[in-house]
Structure 1
């Protein structure tokens, strides 16, 4: 890959003809249409938070260097931003007045048109340091990953977007990475993370592909659209909403709905019964992992490990052990009640505390509480054999 250094371009040159799409929240073009600011392998614009965008302009006004930027020269003689998209979009928004914001100057908020004329002129004339790169698409994408190791790190899905850039990725991002979408709030009920940071796109890929987003993107890279992905994602979310009545978003957000859909979508459920069971478990103080409630209910309420049911504390274990052991010594039998019932070699064995586990006399799933009155100490062999019966 070849590189060419440019120090003659200024803030005004780059911001000339700047176009910002408020619906997608991103900069489109600069340099009077000759610069593509957010090519398809780029992440979404993240600096529009009233802090980082302001810091970029504040640095320029104070004469601080903005750092190296990298452009790619395209076959038609135009340029694409390889590194610097966040900074360029920030200062171009300010300079052009497109989706503008104010910066503090001498204790007062100032927009571009309210800056002193000489300050405005100095800002526009600020030179930038830009390397223009030329190379194959593979070289460009590899370099993109290399230069994006500082600042806000690229996450896994942002790296995939760069690696599998093409019409499919562009189409998928246009829908699933759009924070202005009317569906964004609905997606946020089930997906944890930021739409801008590709959380929804990543969830869709993982759910629809069965956990192989890279393989799915590679297989569909040249597809002209992403309707299969979007349709599959919507089908999963539609099933989730119809099966589990909306009670509390944290209960359903961040679950692997793709896996739950594949395992259970052919089962018949009564949404009313599912909702009632979920509500009962939410109110149960013995359940310590609320995030496991929905998978537990959809799975038929059999795997209590998903709930991390509250265990007996050390004080309770020690107290019950002492009581059982004292009775066992008086009766000349094992301090494990199940060993004492048998006639084998452990019928009279007194186990140490370390050799025993605390067990619910009446299982939690059958209504038993996690308190001293429902606790018994069993040798580990019998406790493991008893399970949740």
Structure 2
């Protein structure tokens, strides 16, 4: 990989600056893609944005930036998008900063002050290399700044029309995914959490081990119809299967459940009655696990309340340290508490339902 350090004046970078919203942000005479598909939306707060301008005005050094040069001779901002847009917006008179107690846009500055800003040189590393080399480099330089999420890093590699379309559905404020499923999803759309979630689900459906496998396969598609239709099918299935929404439903891996159980014939009314019962059961300590438990019956999802150390000690002394199954004597630390009447048969986590088994017997019993 080739890396070259360049000094480029602000007047050159802001030349031809154009913010076309969904179509991207360009500068440097149209040769610089300031906001590539993998980059986040502009997230600087006013104070951060203004500090960039004050730094330039004082002729203090800004942190170095990083561009990538492609085979066609154009560039993409790899790191430094927020600073670059702040500078371009100021030079374009899109906001003012306070100088000597007064708001001053670029157009309000004296010719000397404007020239000082335009002549200010930014230190920029420009790299050329393979996709993998650029991604590895991006991960390294990303450590020092406001770190990108894993999905934002993936987006750096699998750019193209497919990704652009996918981001319209899953990565914008008030995007379609937010409109229909915000209450089921965790994280932020603009930080790529929604996109990462649905990619994780659909990759699992296709028996692909990594999100990267799915993104690589579809990178050059002209649309993301498959991804969006799959996501809608998951949400429709959830809403039909569990028509009564509860806060515990937010952030669950619904796509995994849909992949595995989506073709089953379930009775929403029966599910609802069981949910109410389990929500009221004081032994169930993980209410979010109720939904997966309804499908596979695995009590581990529920994190059934464990016996206390005091309850274990009382049962141990009552049994005189003898395992009720193998009839051998053990130290307390060699034994485990067990429900006499299993929880799924109505047994509660109370003293009267506690017995001590040696670890081997308890595990053999649990494995049946």
TM class, shorter-length: 0.7 to 0.9
Give the 3 Å change call, closer, same or farther, for CA 150–244 of structure 1 in structure 2.
Answer: same
Deviation (angstroms), 1:136: 5.9
**Alignment equivalent of 1:82, drawn from 66, 78, 81:** 78
Give the 3 Å change call, closer, same or farther, for CA 72–321 of structure 1 in structure 2.
Answer: closer
Cα distance in 2 for residues equivalent to 1:111 and 1:245: 55
SS in structure 1 at match of 2:288: helix
**Alignment equivalent of 1:48, drawn from 44, 50, 53:** 44
The equivalent of 1:189 in structure 2 is: 183
The equivalent of 2:343 in structure 1 is: 364
The equivalent of 2:105 in structure 1 is: 112
The equivalent of 2:309 in structure 1 is: 314
Deviation (angstroms), 1:313: 0.7
Give the 3 Å change call, closer, same or farther, for CA 105–364 of structure 1 in structure 2.
Answer: farther
The equivalent of 2:362 in structure 1 is: 383
State whether structure 2 residue 287 is matched by structure 1 residue 290: yes
The equivalent of 2:14 in structure 1 is: 15
State whether structure 2 residue 195 is matched by structure 1 residue 201: yes
Does structure 1 conserve the Cα–Cα contact (< 8 Å) formed by 2:169 and 2:177?
no
SS in structure 2 at match of 1:154: coil
Deviation (angstroms), 1:264: 0.6
Does structure 2 conserve the Cα–Cα contact (< 8 Å) formed by 1:44 and 1:197?
yes
The equivalent of 1:342 in structure 2 is: none
Cα distance in 2 for residues equivalent to 1:120 and 1:27: 26
The equivalent of 2:171 in structure 1 is: 177
State whether structure 2 residue 192 is matched by structure 1 residue 213: no
1:300-311 aligned within 5 A: 302-311=297-306
Deviation (angstroms), 1:309: 0.7
**Alignment equivalent of 1:60, drawn from 42, 56, 61:** 56
Cα distance in 1 for residues equivalent to 2:6 and 2:80: 14
204-213 vs 127-136, which moves further: 127-136
The equivalent of 1:343 in structure 2 is: none
Cα distance in 2 for residues equivalent to 1:385 and 1:75: 63
Unpaired runs of 5+ residues, structure 1, are 326-333, 340-345
Deviation (angstroms), 1:229: 1.9
Cα distance in 2 for residues equivalent to 1:221 and 1:28: 22
**Alignment equivalent of 2:240, drawn from 239, 242, 262:** 242
Give the 3 Å change call, closer, same or farther, for CA 308–46 of structure 1 in structure 2.
Answer: farther
Deviation (angstroms), 1:157: 2.0
Cα distance in 2 for residues equivalent to 1:89 and 1:248: 41
Does structure 1 conserve the Cα–Cα contact (< 8 Å) formed by 2:170 and 2:177?
no
SS in structure 2 at match of 1:91: helix
Give the 3 Å change call, closer, same or farther, for CA 351–173 of structure 1 in structure 2.
Answer: same
Deviation (angstroms), 1:152: 2.4
Cα distance in 1 for residues equivalent to 2:224 and 2:136: 25
State whether structure 2 residue 125 is matched by structure 1 residue 128: no
CA RMSD of aligned residues (A): 3.3
Does structure 1 conserve the Cα–Cα contact (< 8 Å) formed by 2:98 and 2:104?
no
Deviation (angstroms), 1:35: 2.3
The equivalent of 1:148 in structure 2 is: 142
Cα distance in 1 for residues equivalent to 2:129 and 2:273: 60
1:226-305 aligned within 5 A: 226-249=224-247, 251-299=248-296, 302-305=297-300
SS in structure 2 at match of 1:66: coil
| Bigger Rg, which one | 1
Deviation (angstroms), 1:359: 1.9
Give the 3 Å change call, closer, same or farther, for CA 146–126 of structure 1 in structure 2.
Answer: same
Give the 3 Å change call, closer, same or farther, for CA 67–379 of structure 1 in structure 2.
Answer: closer
Deviations 1:260-306 (A, max 9, x none): 1121111112223323333433333322223322111222xx21111
Give the 3 Å change call, closer, same or farther, for CA 115–295 of structure 1 in structure 2.
Answer: farther
Deviation (angstroms), 1:388: 9.4
